Amino acid sequence: MDQFLEFFIENAGIIAALPLWTFLIIIFGQNLGVYDNKKITVWLTCASTFIGFLWALFIFLWTLGAEEPFTKNIAWINAGNIQLSFGWLLDNLAAVMLLVVTSVSLLIQIYSHGYMNKDEGYHRFFSYLNLFNFSMLGLVLSSNLFQIYIFWELVGLSSYLLIGFWYRRPSAAHAATKAFIINRIGDCGLLIGIISFLFFSLNWWAASGDVYLSFTSLQPAAEYVLTSAGPIVYFLIATAIFLGPMAKSAQFPLHTWLPDAMEGPTPISALIHAATMVAAGVFLIARAYPVFEASSCVMTTIAWIGGITAFITATIALTQYDLKKTLAYSTCSQLGFMVMAMGAGAFAAGLFHLVTHAYFKAMLFLCSGTVIHGLNDQQDMRFMGGLRKHMPVVAYTYLIGCLAISGILLSGFWSKEEIFSGLYAGNNVSLLSLGLIVAFMTAFYMFRTYFLTFEGQYKGHTHPHNSPKVMTVPLILLAIPSALLGIMLSGKFFLPSFDKYIIAGKESFIHLEHNENLLLPVISILIALSGVLTAAFFFWDGFKEKRESVKITADNVIKSAKPIYALTTNLWYIDKFYYAFIDKVFLPICNFISRFDKYIIDGLVNLTATKIRFEGWVLRQFQTGQIQTYLAIMFAGLIGLVLIFVLLQLLLI
């Protein structure tokens, strides 16, 4: 058995290579006209992901018995004192992420076969999906910080391609460019951070003989950097590295690309912009945890950025009418939760929430995709309603998702509760109360979408049509982990514990004692329930008479709280501020420099030329070749000299 597992460990790179091969097969197969059958594409894709999933399972089995993480590296660049490598690092964290990515991917690929079937870019879509899988799995397997940077940019590329999948639509093209550029800001920070980290620890790496920037030795290296660079510089370095996760995991103030990214096909929103890629930021924080942990200022910054993001985006989600946008803001908010947990030292809780969130959020997005598909691309919830009768499977799975994300007994409850108890144990009262407020809002806006979409009367115009099995089966399959994964990994009732598994071998991390008293879970459930009830009061038809009798309807509330409502519907003016900054400050600066270049710098060059030409012209006047001119000048000169001579004589006398 051991040797059998050994094979999978030694060749783990194949998990990432399989989708790359599939990508190449589809690209060349399509462009060289080898085949044109959609079945081939989808089977190849699903097979490669399924093999990856099995492979990940074996790796997971191996990690249960392994004591040390496994690494394997291949040199990539060797020049001077720089040595950069590619490789893979297998430990518990990698195994979990591999399982999550491959399983969600597989289900979404099956779903996409139904969703994209009528689209002319079917093969293109699947080739991009494979490219994404390659980059994401490469990122998860990365053995060092530098390699993670490479795949970091590649997942960004796949996201760019997929957001801009319908590139004829100006809004999609715009969203894709925006996503890439905002992510570039994060990448730039990450690159500066990595290079400066490497610079300060160069001697350490050279002495250790380990692969440069390897995750396994990051902790002593971080301590070395802290002592050699000093706390202030270290804070800057770690914050620069954190810029990467901030952009990728859509944290305030770089979160604005994620809601726009919903311009892509819905399976992409589910896979990339909810379950996997955006979680890569949290994954990087987990991977490079020793770097952040070494400085408490950095940790506090991270926690607060996460908390602020969770709060701001939750308030925005309250008032959105676009179903996908609401889910997108909810994703931002949940990512904020994870980042906050990471920053507060609740390492395992953050990752636990990442895992559960991946399943239920992917499912929620797929549900919304089915709804949108069934209503012929209607995304506005004001034109939905009563869909439970038309698509019961979707409605019930969506309800499971809502319960899960709101934290009512299903998976989200267990992971969120852990985050809360982590914050409580760390005495972060302010963050804890922020988290509880956000939990209330989460329950409210999720059930608001549920009531508006699936309950009440249908308010749209097109006839809702049901979806094929290929789209509903993945929903049902995703509903299982969404409902049960939380309790199954909670470590309660003699069930296995996710925390113990993920912390194993990292005892040195800040380990927050798990809070065993029942007060916190009860409070969090009560808060979630009150959120649900509030949503029901405003949006469920069962309470219609009641709310009209006390005259507290959604419209009245909006009227009475106009400034706040305006703030959230305008997305806190963050995007507006950015666009104003670009239009009023950045582009004018560029134009000014451009004009400076054209008129001043080039002007000086041309002025020099003109000056020389003028001098030439002046001299040319004396070189006309006409004997009359020469004689006239000679005569004038002679007279001039005589005059001077005479004048001098007169003056001297």
Partner 1 sequence: MSFLSLTLLIFLPLAGALIIYGPWFPQNEVKIRRFAKGFAGFIFVYSLLFLAFFNPTEKGFQFTETLTFPDGSPWIEPLGVNFSLAVDGISIILVVLTTFLVLLGLIASKFSITKRHKFYYSMIFVLQTAILGVFTAKDLFLFILFWEIELIPMYFLISVWGTGKKEYSAMKFVLYTFTGSIFMLASILAVVYYNYIQTGIWTFDLNTYTYMKAFTYPTLFGILTFLGFFIAFAVKLPVVPFHTWLPDAHVDAPTPVSMLLAGMLLKMGGYGMIRMNLQMMPEILKILSPLIVIFAVINIIYAALIAIAQKDLKKLVAYSSVSHMGIVLLGIGAMNIAGVSGAVFQMVAHGIISAGLFMIVGVIYLRTHTREIAELGGLGQNAPKIMYFSMIIALASLGLPLLIGFAAETLTFYGAFTSNVFNGFYILNQYIPLSIRLLTAIAIIGIIFAAIYILWMFHRVFWGNMFDKWEKFHDASPHEMVVLISLIFVIVVFGVYPAGLINIFAPTISSFMNLI
Question: By the criterion CB under 8 A, which residues form the site for partner 1?
Answer: 75-82, 149-151, 153-154, 157, 164, 167-170, 172-174, 176-177, 180-181, 184-185, 187-188, 191-192, 195-196, 198-199, 202, 587, 589-591, 593-594, 597, 601-602, 605, 609
CB of 493 to partner 1, least distance (A): 46
Judged by beta carbon, residue 495 or residue 609, the one nearer partner 1 is: 609
Residue 535 · residue 448 · CB < 8 Å: yes
CB of 46 to partner 1, least distance (A): 25
Judged by beta carbon, residue 604 or residue 634, the one nearer partner 1 is: 604
The DSSP code sequence of 147-172 is HHHHHHHHHHHHHHHHHGGGTTSHHH
Q: Take residue 282 and report the two structure tokens written for it.
A: 């949290």
Question: How far is 316 from 313, CA to CA, in rounded Å?
Answer: 5
- Sequence-ordered list of residues with C-beta below 8 angstroms from that of 310, at least 6 positions apart, any chain: 332, 333, 334, 336, 337, 340, 434, 435, 438
Judged by beta carbon, residue 500 or residue 598, the one nearer partner 1 is: 598
Q: Containing H/E element for 114?
A: helix 92-115
CB of 169 to partner 1, least distance (A): 8
CB of 601 to partner 1, least distance (A): 5
What is the chain's length?
A: 653
For residue 84, report the phi and psi dihedrals to the nearest 5 degrees: -115, 140
Judged by beta carbon, residue 173 or residue 473, the one nearer partner 1 is: 173
Angle among Cα 67, 69, 70 to the nearest 5 degrees reads 120
For residue 380, how many C-alpha atoms fall within 13 Å in the half-sphere facing its CB?
6
Judged by beta carbon, residue 47 or residue 77, the one nearer partner 1 is: 77
Judged by beta carbon, residue 134 or residue 450, the one nearer partner 1 is: 134
CB of 263 to partner 1, least distance (A): 12
Q: Which residue's structure tokens are 């409850």?
A: 413
**Residues 6-20: b if buried by 16+ CB within 10 A, e if exposed:** eebbeebbbbbbbbb
* Sign, Cα dihedral of 205, 207, 208, 209: positive
Task: Show the DSSP H helices in 504-586 as ranges.
Answer: 519-539, 544-549, 554-560, 562-569, 574-581
Over 70-109, what HEC string results? EEEEEEEEEECCEEEEEEEEECHHHHHHHHHHHHHHHHHH
Task: Show the DSSP H helices in 320-410 as ranges.
Answer: 323-343, 347-374, 392-406
CB of 465 to partner 1, least distance (A): 30
Distances (CA, A) of 426 to 22, 113, 345, 471: 47, 46, 8, 43
Judged by beta carbon, residue 149 or residue 539, the one nearer partner 1 is: 149
Q: Is 466 left (phi over 0), alpha (psi -120 to 50) or beta?
A: beta
Judged by beta carbon, residue 120 or residue 377, the one nearer partner 1 is: 120
403 C-beta neighbours (distance < 10 Å), count: 24
Judged by beta carbon, residue 151 or residue 447, the one nearer partner 1 is: 151
Judged by beta carbon, residue 550 or residue 593, the one nearer partner 1 is: 593
The residues pairing with 73 across neighbouring beta strands, listed in sequence order, are 87
632 C-beta neighbours (distance < 10 Å), count: 11
Judged by beta carbon, residue 199 or residue 630, the one nearer partner 1 is: 199
CB of 213 to partner 1, least distance (A): 11
Judged by beta carbon, residue 222 or residue 237, the one nearer partner 1 is: 237
CB of 381 to partner 1, least distance (A): 28
Question: How far is 226 from 294, CA to CA, in rounded Å?
Answer: 8
Q: Take residue 208 and report the two structure tokens written for it.
A: 């250790």
